[in-house]
Chain A
């Protein structure tokens, strides 16, 4: 999964140095300035084969006056992207926790969180986050009867995909802030990253379906039963 993970590389700015910083909405709006061609640095996207998709995401459209609403949405998207790794950790903790409460269906909390993220991801422009969470939510919903149909391999694979999305969008947003990307360039970068991750999701979904089917049909020793 890691090898297929989409990544954003910024050759002029060390993305890692930006990790951990928070970017409140107002700060981003104040920091905004239109970009010129040279300030874009090297924001490149890797496709699934690891090949560079080519162009910088920017198209030097920075001369047009930005719509203030667009800027507010962009700022909210940055904030949301910054929270995605934490959401991944939270989901991971919930999915991998053994359930002691017999009265509650296994993964009820994970299902609730998936439901929330499924609703918010696409609303903020991260559609592939919605796709992945809605998929898992539907599976967890069928789990209400009490037995846990998720095998460890399935859970780990789903978490790896969601983790890759979270990391990609988080780094993309940080790189965008560092480079003070113009709104149009940000929209383009986000759409490209989202589409690229969606392509990966289509194949991941097939693999996950097979794993799920396998764990339902057989006595998979790897199946984690609810306590």
Chain B
């Protein structure tokens, strides 16, 4: 998969990129804040998935997701939140904005790719059924 990862914390970015590329064999592009991800998407929309942190400078992840889903050119790109915001209402908000999944940090780098695949497959299955 061609994944766009938005994460402002370098520690998480480092381990997530390692996990996604070395274990999941995905291609990963990174952004370090909400504005950067929107800029990247202006130049290319060739992504199979967006992994989105919530607490980021400039524009937070929830707002980024809101804008992506409101834009017809990006609404089709699946979004999964990858965040330390672990409260139920935050989880529900993320999904209500159109994300297909919500992964809570800390995550296990050894299984991150499997978690993502499972969410994507489940979302695809649901879309086919409806």
A residues with a Cβ closer than 8 A to B are 69, 72-73, 76, 80, 83, 112, 115-116, 118-124, 127, 130, 134
> Could you say which of B32-40, B64-72, B93-101, B104-112 contacts chain A?
B104-112
> Are B84 and A119 touching (Cβ within 8 A)?
yes
Closest CB in chain A relative to B111 CB, distance in Å: 12
Contacts of B15 in A (CB 8 A): 73, 76, 120, 123-124
Main secondary structure of the interface of A (DSSP, over half): helix
> Are A123 and B106 touching (Cβ within 8 A)?
yes
B residues with a Cβ closer than 8 A to A are 9, 11-12, 14-15, 18, 22-23, 55, 83-86, 105-110
> Are A76 and B106 touching (Cβ within 8 A)?
no
Contacts of B110 in A (CB 8 A): 69, 73
* Known A118-B84, A119-B84: A73·B109 in contact at CB below 8 Å: yes
10 contacts between A and B (CB under 8 A): A69-B22, A69-B110, A73-B110, A112-B55, A116-B84, A118-B84, A120-B106, A122-B105, A123-B107, A124-B15
Residue of A nearest to B53 (CB): A119
A119 to B85 alpha-carbon distance, docked (Å): 9
A115 to B105 alpha-carbon distance, docked (Å): 10
Task: Say which residue of B23, B84, B109 sits within 8 Å of A115 (CB atoms).
Answer: B84
* Known A69-B23, A73-B109, A112-B55: A119·B18 in contact at CB below 8 Å: no
